[in-house]
Structure 1
Amino acid sequence: MTSLLTNNGAMVALQTLKSVNASLSETQGQISTGKKVDNAKQNAAVWAISKTMESDVNGFKSVQESLALGESTVAVARQATETVTDLLGEIKTRIASATGDNVDRTKLTNEITSLREQIASVVGAAQFNGLNLVDGSTTSTDVLSSLDRANGDVSASAITVNGVDLDTGGYTAQNVFGTNTDGITAANDGFATNIADAGTADIEIDASSVAAGDTITLNLGDQKVTYQVTAEDVAATSSNEAVVIGLKNAIESQTDYDTSELSVEYDASTAANSDQITITNNTGESMNISGQYQNAGAGDLAALSTIDISSSSAAQASLASIENLINTTIDASAAFGTVESRISIQKDFVSNLSDSVKSGIGSLVDADMEETSARLQALQVQQQLATQSLSIANQGPQQLLSLFR
């Protein structure tokens, strides 16, 4: 039956044309934007995931900037400590020269003074963007290293960089190490000696003038022990004994303590031993040990002010102090080098992670341009056919005119 009022063919053709036009419009949108999911209407779940990941990528940019800034700051600090180590080595050569006779001690002293001033200049200038990690002004600083997402929550992680205090001022000598310790003179609060295999060394402590917060550092082979004097030590009936016990406990807790290789003995039963510890080397080879006292508030290189080369014996004693100071800066350089390497690795990781996330976002929302191009050609043909089909369907009612002629 042919109806004048209802043209079923035209309606079918019109719906087909509308569908083709909608698909064609969507395909043209994908070509113009390059995305198959450009808004939440197209695919709410995929769009939400992509936006969350895009916010993470933006966060990674801030992380990369923070890591770059942190790496530069630590690099400056490392370079400064390495330079100071070299300068201390220069001072050591002058001290070594002064241990001999028939030397010009005045000129050597002037050179040491000049080198000490140069060290202070290097430490003061070792800042990046106003942050100095080597002059004692910064205890530690955090470098933003990552944004971690877990169960929908985001948290920031950081790499902590510890500062050092290579200031050369503020030192007050106390002659903490007693006469039983090798390399001690009235002008020095440091010592260095060597213990042969199965040999011993007595370290005597005179804590009569120390204050809470003062530190005693021992280097036992390749291990470092630091003990900070407490208020309880100072207030004890025998401050010598209290500090000796604290130092012994620090050695046993801070080192890879193995009594078969290293033993630390303390005997308070006799007055002669109540203020000293005896270290025995059982490692099978000789061991270098050294010590350095530092009063609270003084910089780690403040003992440079105690360097004395006025005589051969004084210069010999000063060798112990300079050796301790060199060990201090070497440790600082190693620490900065380690954290700088860690920051560099993290920076590369974050860069690669950002690229991977961007690639993941692309796989979710980017249009396949080859497929989209082919679909566009097909839809354009379908549009032409649908248009022609609608035109044919619309001409159908005109056939009714022949019935009225």
Structure 2
Amino acid sequence: MGSSLLTNSSAMTALQTLRNVSSQLATTQNRISTGMRVSTASDNAAYWSIATSMRADNAALSAVSDSLGLSAATVDTEYTALTAVVGDQTGGLTKLQALLVEAKTAGIDRTKIQADITQIQQQMKGTANAATFNGVNWLSATATTPATFNLVSSFSRVGGTPTIGSITLTIANYSLYTSTQTGILDKVSGTASIDTISISALTDSTADMTTLDGYIAQVTTAINSVASAAADLGAVKNRISTNTEFVKTLMDSVDRGVGQLVDADMNAESTRLQALQTQQQLGVQALSIANQNSQSILSLFR
């Protein structure tokens, strides 16, 4: 092919190659600076769309994790109070039962025993009133306390349909005192509730001994009910703890999944950058040589 003053094919080829190398170099530099292979929809529309949806799901999972933390604190507060109400040899229903059994002893001063019983009754009520977290109290229910309480436990999305999982608790199962006196400790059974038991006026008569037997049976039933409520909340605590760990693990898995889709391989990009920089330098030199070919035409006219 002869030399042309108007068309420098070599320069055009070198320029095209240089433009291609510069474009690839810009892409590689962007990946290195952002750390992402797919940072916009134009990089890879399918992967970008999937990654965006997965990030949104992860944000929802983060909210679930926060909700589980709040739920765990609430359940732990109620559980701790129920355990205290069951008590031991020094207080609570366990001590109350022991005092009533002691009151069966002939000739004993039941007025003094009643002083201890009254303190236990006040202590249990105080414990129930104190079992409040973030304004929530299941043990001392009021007229505004809801019948059920939902604890957010999970989030999932199939296609475009999100699903929120929850643990539903029936508050009546844990209420020790209520505004309508239907709780475990203020519900009247026979002549009195656990909260109003009084033995000061009882004697050694057969009728009064029968009354004491009724009180003892009433307290025993209450111990079983409160222990059952505490056991139920203990199971809920374990479920929340398991869900919390699962949600955290799931969030990590989603992060890894998104990374596999859109993150740049920095080792590969670093190697690619060096190769493209070398190609760019060679392209500049090739274009310079091609441009010099036009100058050589002048020598033909000397």
Does structure 2 retain, via aligned residues, the 8 Å contact 1:133–1:162?
Answer: no
1:162 maps to which residue? 170
Corresponding position: 1:299 with 2:183: yes
SS at match of 1:159: strand
Tell me the residue number matched to 2:277. Answer: 380
What is the letter of the counterpart of residue 166 of structure 1? L
Q: TM-score, normalised by structure 2?
A: 0.89
Q: Aligned partner of 2:194: which letter?
A: L
Structure 1 residues 99, 168: closer, same or farther in 2, change over 3 A?
farther
AA of the residue aligned to 2:162 = V
| Matching residue of 2:120 | 115
Unaligned runs of 5+ in 1: 171-296
What is the CA distance between 1:48 and its match in structure 2?
Answer: 0.5
Instruction: Answer whether contact 2:140 2:178 (CA < 8 A) is retained.
Output: no
How far apart in 1 are the matches of 2:72 and 2:147? 17
- Once the two structures are TM-superposed, the CA of residue 28 in structure 1 deviates from its matched residue by 0.5
1:112-157 residue CA offsets vs partner (Å, 9 max, x unmatched): 1111011111101101000012123342211111221112211211
Describe the SS at the equivalent of 1:132. coil
- Structure 2 stretches lacking a partner, 5+ long: 187-192
Deviation larger for 151-160 or 8-17 = 151-160
Question: CA offsets, 1:190-240, max 9 Å, x none?
Answer: xxxxxxxxxxxxxxxxxxxxxxxxxxxxxxxxxxxxxxxxxxxxxxxxxxx
Q: In the aligned structure 2, how far is the partner of 1:103 from the partner of 1:10?
A: 117
Q: Paired residue for 1:99, among 87, 100, 104?
A: 104
Does structure 1 residue 144 correspond to structure 2 residue 34? no
Structure 1 residue 308 displacement after superposition: 4.6
Could you say which residue in structure 1 is the equivalent of 2:32? 31
Tell me the distance in 1 between the aligned counterparts of 2:72 and 2:268.
Answer: 45
Cα-Cα RMSD: 1.4
TM-score relative to the length of structure 1: 0.67
Q: Superposed, which structure 2 residues align to 1:282-361 within 5 Å?
A: 297-302=181-186, 303-305=193-195, 307-309=197-199, 310-311=202-203, 313=209, 314-361=211-258
Structure 1 stretches of 4+ with a deviation exceeding 6 A read: none
Partner Cα separation in structure 2 for residue 20 and residue 311 of structure 1: 105
Distance in 1 (alpha carbons) for counterparts of 2:179 and 2:125: 9
Q: Distance in 2 between matches of 1:126 and 1:115?
A: 17
Alpha-carbon distance, 1:335 to partner: 0.9
- The structure showing larger relative contact order (alpha-carbon pairs under 8 Å, at least 6 residues apart) is 2
1:256-294 CA-partner distances (Å, limit 9, x unpaired): xxxxxxxxxxxxxxxxxxxxxxxxxxxxxxxxxxxxxxx
Instruction: State the distance in 1 between where 2:30 and 2:216 align.
Output: 79
Structure with greater proportional helix content: 2
Q: Identity over aligned residues, as a percent?
A: 41
Q: Which moved more, 1:320-329 or 1:302-311?
A: 302-311
Q: Aligned match of 2:262 in 355, 365, 372?
A: 365
Question: C-alpha separation between the residues in 1 aligned to 2:11 and 2:170?
Answer: 80
Counterpart residue identity of residue 388, structure 1: Q
